[in-house]
């Protein structure tokens, strides 16, 4: 992999990833002023969760026509000046977190209960290909491997940034999920705090270690492999499975066989197999209903400075589609109480994913 850095017209960083050398970045011809994102975080005193408030994001680009796609290369609306690219990552023009966010008072309305902090962090867009009509599932394995290498590179870079506590790599696909751009891409968030899901997993992993002396993620993987009923696909380094307590009608986890805290820590053989198995899982998902499945695919990584011996890197992929013509909406139990109800038994969806034709 060859990494080439450049800057966009407003000073945001853009990084190209190629399989070989020779790229000379094209200067950004646009007349852009430096953005001033307004990001802040407020702590919910009832749950302890941080909620991010972004006053500028309501004006972000929303489902433009293909000829105005900002992720297609070289066009008048493009964020990517070059005429072509393999994989590219750049700072989001409408970030949820930014190092350019202004400082804010430490309290909301001066009230001690309402903690407040600047939304310092970083948000990047990762484009998987310059082909507007492609999908990650249909890219060749060597391109998926380049995407994996780019994810690992950016995880390492953002983890080294001051003030970033956790790095989250993810892809949203499908209008049902709420995407605002159709071009095949994902995102990376560098959070200034540890997310609620991660805090909960760390607490569970710590309690499990205290009680049993074991590795929670390793023990879960061993139990899934021993049962076998929810295994989708397995290799030398990775296993894909539907978790026993899946929340979503379609949900799959992809977990390495050894303890790895984040993408940057993966070896070459682990990355190579990941490119193959991840693409296979995506293709099986698309084969479920004979149409591209709307999904969120997020890499759960250990925080930057703590819990790296407790939380194992793993992918969580889930979809809101519960049948060919039905969408799961979060109702009162899920939205109001975070108490999930799944209409599809995990064993059933695992069997369907195993039987799905990834070549279809």
Active site residues: 185
Residue keyed to tokens 């159709």: 182
Q: Which letter does DSSP use for residue 157 in this model?
A: H
Q: State how far the alpha carbon of 156 is from the alpha carbons of 89, 113, 164, 188, 217, in Å.
A: 14, 35, 11, 12, 22
DSSP reduced 3-state for 354: helix
Query: 183: closest CA among 73, 283, 275?
Result: 73
Whether residue 321 contacts residue 250, with contact meaning beta carbons closer than 8 Å, is answered with: yes
Exposure on the CB side of residue 152, measured as CA atoms within 13 A: 21
Q: Is 279 exposed, middle or buried (0-12, 13-18, 19+ CB in 10 A)?
A: buried
- Strands 39-43 and 2-7, by their bridges, are unpaired
Is residue 264 a contact partner of residue 149, using CB atoms and an 8 Å limit?
A: no
- C-alpha span between 330 and 235 (Å, rounded): 34
Torsion on CA atoms 205, 210, 214, 218, rounded to nearest 10: 0
For 41, 109, 113, the CA distances from 106, given in Å and listed in that order, are 10, 10, 11
3-class secondary-structure state, position 196: helix
With a CB cutoff of 8 Å and minimum separation 6, the contacts of 142 are: 19, 275
Could you tell me how many residues make up the chain? 360
User: In the 8-state DSSP scheme, what is residue 236?
Assistant: S
Residue 326 burial class via C-beta count within 10 angstroms: exposed 0-12, middle 13-18, buried 19 and up = exposed
Rounded to 5 degrees, φ, ψ at 38 are -110, 90
């Amino acid at each position: 992999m060859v990494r080439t850095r450049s800057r966009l017209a407003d000073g945001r960083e853009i990084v190209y990833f190629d399989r070989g050398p020779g790229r000379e970045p094209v200067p950004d011809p646009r007349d852009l002023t430096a953005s001033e994102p307004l990001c802040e975080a407020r702590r919910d005193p009832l749950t302890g969760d941080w909620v991010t408030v972004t006053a500028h994001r309501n004006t972000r680009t929303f489902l433009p026509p293909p000829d105005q796609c900002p992720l297609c290369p070289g066009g008048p609306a493009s964020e990517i000046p070059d005429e072509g690219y393999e994989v590219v990552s750049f700072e989001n023009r409408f970030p949820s977190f930014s190092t350019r966010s202004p400082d804010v008072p430490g309290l909301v309305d001066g009230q001690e209960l309402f903690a407040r902090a600047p939304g310092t962090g970083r948000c990047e867009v990762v484009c998987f290909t310059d082909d507007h009509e492609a999908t990650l599932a249909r890219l060749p394995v060597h391109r998926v491997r380049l995407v994996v290498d780019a994810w690992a590179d950016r995880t390492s870079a953002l983890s080294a940034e001051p003030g970033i506590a956790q790095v989250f790599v993810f892809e949203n696909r499908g209008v049902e999920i709420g995407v605002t751009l159709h071009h095949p891409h994902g995102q990376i968030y560098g959070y200034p705090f540890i997310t609620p899901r991660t805090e909960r997993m760390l607490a569970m992993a710590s309690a499990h270690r205290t009680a049993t002396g074991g590795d929670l993620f390793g023990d879960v993987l061993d139990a899934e492999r021993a049962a076998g009923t929810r295994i989708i696909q397995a290799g030398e380094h990775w296993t894909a499975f539907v978790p026993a307590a899946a929340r979503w009608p379609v949900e799959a986890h992809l977990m390495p066989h050894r303890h790895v805290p984040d993408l940057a820590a993966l070896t070459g053989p682990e990355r190579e197999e990941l490119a193959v198995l991840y693409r296979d899982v995506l293709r099986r998902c698309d084969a479920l209903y004979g149409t591209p499945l709307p999904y969120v695919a997020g890499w759960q990584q250990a925080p930057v400075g703590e819990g790296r011996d407790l939380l194992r890197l793993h992918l969580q992929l889930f979809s809101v589609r519960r049948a060919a013509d039905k969408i799961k909406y979060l109702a009162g139990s899920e939205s109001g109480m975070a108490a999930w109800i799944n209409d599809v038994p995990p064993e059933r969806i695992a069997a369907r994913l195993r039987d799905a034709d990834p070549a279809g």
